[in-house]
Chains A and B, each alone.
Chain A
Amino acid sequence: MSPTRPILLAGLAFVLSIPAVEAGPVYVASQGAGALTRIEAGAGVVAASVAVGQGIAQVAAGPDGRLYLTQPDHAGIDVVDGRTNAVLRRLPFQGQAFGIVASADGASLFVGDWAGGRLVRVSAGTGAVEGSCAVGRDPAGLVLDRKGRLYVADRESRQVSVIDTARMERLATVPVGEGPFALGLNPRQDRLYVANVRSGDLSVIETGTMAVIATVKVGGMPYGVATSADGGLVLVTNQQAGTVVVIDAASLDLKATIPVGRYPEGIAVDGVSAYVANWFSDSVSVIDLRSLTETARIPVAEGPRSLVVGAVSEAVR
């Protein structure tokens, strides 16, 4: 992965690179409609919509322009070629695939098995199992750092599991709030933000010590989290209130509350914009991170939950 080709993903947020953010296309997975929608950075319209299959939950982007979508109710992972909008195949997955992230080289996928309480490493080409390890109950959001360390939000175990992906071993568990769902790693990767759906707050983990150093009250149901490209802002969707809460990363003070659509869930940062999947409203809100205002609301297929910023177009040509 070249440092000039950042992939920023949130909801299951992970941030691979900091400098010279070159915005890539945003992909939105609509679970109800089973469609994957592409929005070009800076554009307020839908560039393409791909019928993948009803039930797609979370989406991950590979470095080669491929998109991977979990199918928790259909024991599989759907693969889409972002360059051609073609649905390539459904990889088999023994379990209830939910959270997903691709390895830096794109050869492997890390997949959370919701019902099985496992993290599974599979081949991105064939779906063959390459390894697995136990995590907590109902693993939700995943995030992979640049060193190959992976964090899992164990929703029903009130903890984050920390995995060494080279050995597929759990290194630690970090107790957090109730109902941790989404994870966001800052660009320096020294802070992991955990959105706790049931306790309505955000746990801040110092990754160097694996300690929770602060808990920030958000209210309602925080369902997605991401950071701005410079790491200065933490953005949290509050599903109950229909807002994005903006927190100053240094002081952890509330900086703004931005109304978006109903039941916002996943949030991803792409350059100077944040994109928010409004699950109930079937739309994506675009937030300008300089003015902290919603600048567009783009209609998409029914039930958008997860979104990811794909490789920049140069990388996929």
Chain B
Amino acid sequence: MRLALPPALLAPLAATLLLSTTALAHGPTPQKVDQSVTIAAKPDAVWAVVGDFAGMSNWHPDVAKSVGTGGNASGGRRTLTLKNGGTLDEGLDEWDAGKRSYSYRLGDADLKALPVSSYSATLTVSPDGEGSKVEWLGRFYRGDTGNEPPEELSDAAGKEAMNRYFDNGLKGLKARVEGKAKQ
């Protein structure tokens, strides 16, 4: 059916498919997200909080609930319930305590959680003077990967949401580790 329709009709149709099945993983134009924060604590202390893949609700203020299976190893998974009601199912690709770094990716998309169709990301804790630097970077695709995405599923919307989500998370982590009240 999709083949018979002109492109102008495909975008809304694709959006509908995404919203209903969330299985079209990928489009042609990836976008970057790159956030970092410095924290007045030793890297090991920061890693003790952020390195637990399933423990994200302990530090990310947007995450209401975090449930994991498979532990901190390749193949581990976590299901995040966000405060906005959306759900993110993420799988761990690599987890390296020596490098204080882990890489993971999104399973099925939930446009209610974040208006993106897929992403992969890496979070790394490194020494920075007396304290630490946490870098969180990723690659994602907009929510509607068709040719004419609606504004709320565009590259710009994805960038804004991903940057806000990463920024909120790092601020929450900093507050948590530096002993300030969690939001």
Binding site for B on A (CB under 8 A): 31-32, 55, 57, 72-73, 75, 94-96, 98, 114-118, 134, 137-138, 155-156, 179, 198, 200, 219-221, 239-241, 262-263, 279-280, 303, 305
Contact = CB atoms under 8 A, between A and B. Distances in A.
Contact of A241 (B27, B29, B30, B94): B94
Contact of B137 (A73, A241, A262): A262
B74 A219 contact: yes
B28 A239 contact: no
Given A115-B145, A115-B147, 4 more contacts: A116-B3, A200-B93, A221-B105, A239-B120
B7 interface: yes
B29 A73 contact: yes
B180 interface: no
Contact of A94 (B7, B94, B103, B122): B7
A118 B147 contact: no
A229 B26 CA distance: 32
A95 B3 CA distance: 10
B32 interface: yes
B103 A240 contact: yes
Contacts, number: 81
B25 interface: yes
Interface majority SS (helix, strand, loop, mixed), chain B: mixed
Contact of A117 (B3, B93, B122): B3
Given A73-B147, A115-B147, A240-B120, A221 B93 contact: yes
Given A219-B93, A219-B94, A240-B94, A115 B10 contact: yes
Nearest to A117: B3
Interface string B131-143: 0000001010000
B14 interface: yes
A240 B90 CA distance: 14
B122 A240 contact: yes
B115 interface: no
Contact of B139 (A73, A96, A118, A280): A280
B26 to A, nearest CB: 6
A179 B3 CA distance: 22
Interface string B110-124: 000000000010100
Given A118-B3, A220-B103, A72 B29 contact: yes
Contacts of A156: 23-26
Contact of B7 (A75, A137, A138, A280): A75
Nearest to A96: B147
B24 A138 contact: yes
17 contacts: A55-B29, A72-B147, A73-B29, A75-B147, A115-B145, A117-B2, A118-B3, A137-B24, A138-B26, A156-B24, A156-B25, A156-B26, A219-B93, A240-B103, A241-B93, A241-B103, A280-B137
Given A57-B28, A73-B28, A240-B105, A263 B139 contact: yes
Contacts of A94: 7
Contacts of B14: 115
Nearest to B139: A263
Given A262-B137, A280-B137, A221 B28 contact: no
A286 B146 CA distance: 34
A216 to B, nearest CB: 16
B7 A220 contact: no
Given A73-B147, A116-B2, A280-B139, A31 B29 contact: yes
Contacts of B105: 221, 240
A179 B25 contact: yes
The 6 closest A-B pairs by CB, nearest first: A72-B28, A240-B103, A240-B93, A98-B28, A220-B93, A114-B28
Nearest to A282: B32
Contacts of A114: 27-28
B29 A57 contact: yes
Contact of A95 (B7, B74, B103): B7
Contacts of B146: 96, 115
A198 B25 CA distance: 10
A55 B29 CA distance: 7
Contact of A220 (B23, B25, B94): B94
B161 to A, nearest CB: 19
